[in-house]
Amino acid sequence: MANNPDHIEMVTTYVDPPSGWQFGFPKVYDFKPSGNKEAFEQEQTEWFVTNGYPLEMIKQGMLKYCRYWSKETNINLGNSDA
C-alpha cells in the first residue's frame, strides 16, 4: 500500500497513566512539546492535567509508570481502479 494515493497510513499513540480509567484514560496522546528541553516537564504536566489527570498523582511521580502504545490505521480516500 506504500505510495498509494488512495490510502493514508496514520499512526496514533495512546497513553494510559496509573488509575487512568478513573479519569477517562486511555486517551490519544497528542502532546506536542515546544522543543524547549527545560519546559518539557511543565508542558507534559499541563497536557495531563488538561486531559483530566490529577496534579496530585503527577506530583507523586505517576507519569513514569504510564503505558504507551501506537496503532496504525489505513484510511481509504477513494476508489482505486487498480
pTM recorded for the entire structure: 0.79
The per-residue pLDDT for 2 is 56
Largest Cα–Cα separation, the chain: 56
**Contact residues for 9 (Cβ-Cβ < 8 A; gap 6+):** 1, 72, 73, 74, 75
Instruction: Record the cell numbers describing residue 76, joined without a space.
Output: 481509504
As a whole number, the mean pLDDT across the chain is 91
Average pLDDT value for residue range 9-30:
96
Asked whether the predicted pLDDT for residue 69 surpasses 70, the reply is yes
CB atoms near residue 20 (< 10 Å): 20
Read off the pLDDT band of 1 (50, 70, 90). Answer: very low
